[in-house]
Chains A and B, each alone.
Chain A
């Protein structure tokens, strides 16, 4: 490697002089530039996290600040893991996660595959399809309750129109069997474009030459799809699943506005349950332990998944 003119010049200049010419040293500038960000993140993310971990070993309650705070060791953790309600919540979350991800991957990939056929105006339609995911989930979720109204709601009307059922005979958010699907439908409507965009990038990253070679070898379209398209797009698909998984594990705004966790506890996802414990029942110590368990779960699952993702990428 040859030195650039600047480097040759710099090599000839004494250090102190170089410093005067270029101002502060690179290391100092780097720290000045990075420090505010790190500081703010420490203050607003790490400090609260450490505080949460500390509180999780106590019986502290925010609404009773004058009570003695006692160390209770692992009792909060024990109680959470033995609480059947928490496991119901986990089940509701699992149902929500599995179905939203399955539907979004299937529909999102299919859409991306079709858009990749490069019909006229595909860019414009892609942008239109993306609209729902950019909007405020709380505001949109609130409006979906209107679409789901028994009698007057548009959703019920459309379902009734196609199935012939009475539009007043079922309530998507009031029925214990339908409510878990109501949130899956709304979330799928909102986030399918996300999976679609990532899949589209994956499909566009496959070079034409591979298909041309396959065509020369007389591989059928069906075979090309399974041996070229799917394996090459897989890392992208997995990335989309990772993002959706983390986001939906944290899901709060859309569902809390849609069903509020009801009816009963059928749509009480973990974040909603956590919010009740922390900000309605004010069991601060208990909910802190709950938060720690959730965080460890997301972080653990995500790291295992990322390892798998990297393996797929290397192939």
Chain B
């Protein structure tokens, strides 16, 4: 390696490394605490001083996925031996499982609405981005700015008329309504990001395809789409994460059938007071997929969070 005046010295690197790793460790504590609390017993979760070493239990997860009723020891005795391990855990706490909780449904709603809106958003977004990238669209800059400006509105501000509109159309608390809404909200992000990715594909590829007798449409899906695959995939993950995390619209426009997990998780309560292990278990299941996605996205993170304004 050649000597360079701009290369930091070994000492500097060590110093910087230690500080950054120190910060990373501190910032991870709340997240690790969520995961750990999910495996604690209720008593351990509210122990003072907070316990770091504890006997892990799946009680939080059992409480998360089931509804339970209190039962006297006699009733539990009369019901015979527990059939499953989760029955066993519930009975040790003097309760019997009365059925599945709503968490499963809410999680499934998040999956349906998340993937549904992401799919729709990618279809519309790729088409619009291709047109903005390759053709002379009248008022192009104005349209692009308009698309971006839709993100500046506080969600609550547009929620009032959307609430009224959805009520008239019968879309309140439906999957379709939420999918359309999240698609519209995410379109700004997907159009801006995808336009950036498509701009980077040399136009000569399509010209070559057109000479070979492809129509525009064929050139679009046989040449451009495969070239833009990485960009499309990372944009899709960004849209998915947004729809997955969204709370304001979800809490205002859904209450039952189409409610997603973010408004539901904070409402989880136990038989006596807040059941923090169950809340933490619900949060863990909900947050961990996003962390995995973040690792997959790491090369395009910056682009995604700045709407393509910063590309590295």
Contact = CB atoms under 8 A, between A and B. Distances in A.
Instruction: Point out which of B146, B184, B188 has the most chain A C-beta atoms below 10 A from its C-beta.
Output: B184
B85 interface: no
Given A33-B131, A44-B184, A134 B291 contact: yes
Nearest to B12: A117
Contacts of B232: none
B53 interface: no
Interface residues on A, range: 35 or more
A304 interface: no
B263 A45 contact: no
A291 B210 CA distance: 50
Contacts of B251: 138
Given A294-B157, A299-B152, A136 B20 contact: no
A257 B266 contact: yes
A122 interface: yes
B228 interface: no
Contacts of B286: 136, 139
A140 B262 CA distance: 9
Interface in A132-156: 132-140, 142-144, 146-147, 149, 151-154
B150 A125 contact: no
Interface stretch (A71-79, A171-179, A242-250): A242-250
B156 interface: yes
B2 interface: no
Nearest to A275: B156
B46 interface: yes
B207 A138 contact: no
Contact of A115 (B16, B153, B217, B291): B16
Contact of A249 (B33, B154, B164, B216): B154
B156 A278 contact: yes
B79 interface: no
B187 A37 contact: yes
Contacts of A266: none
A295 B310 CA distance: 25
Interface in A143-200: 143-144, 146-147, 149, 151-154, 157, 167, 189, 192-194, 197-198, 200
Interface residues of B, number: 104
Interface class of chain B by DSSP: helix
Interface string B1-18: 000111010001110110
B155 interface: yes
Interface string A290-304: 011011001100100
Interface stretch (B58-66, B70-78, B91-99, B120-128): B120-128
B236 interface: no
A130 to B, nearest CB: 6
A87 B247 CA distance: 26
Contact of A49 (B28, B132, B153): B153
A24 interface: yes
Interface in B121-174: 124-125, 127-128, 130-132, 135-137, 143, 146-147, 149-165
A131 B28 contact: yes
Contacts of A106: none
Interface string B21-33: 1011001111101
Instruction: Point out which of A131, A138, A193 has the most chain B C-beta atoms below 10 A from its C-beta.
Output: A138
B294 interface: yes
B153 A212 contact: no
Given A33-B131, A117-B12, A143-B283, A9 B211 contact: yes
Nearest to B127: A33
B291 to A, nearest CB: 6
A43 B184 contact: yes
Contacts of B234: none
A135 B154 contact: no
Nearest to A273: B156
A44 B279 CA distance: 33
Contacts of B271: none
A138 B27 CA distance: 18
A85 interface: no
A52 B160 contact: yes
A208 interface: yes
Contacts of A292: 157
30 contacts: A27-B135, A30-B135, A33-B130, A37-B191, A40-B124, A41-B187, A44-B185, A45-B158, A55-B160, A111-B23, A117-B8, A117-B13, A127-B298, A129-B27, A131-B294, A134-B293, A136-B286, A138-B251, A142-B265, A143-B33, A143-B280, A151-B48, A152-B47, A152-B48, A152-B50, A236-B310, A239-B306, A239-B310, A271-B248, A275-B156
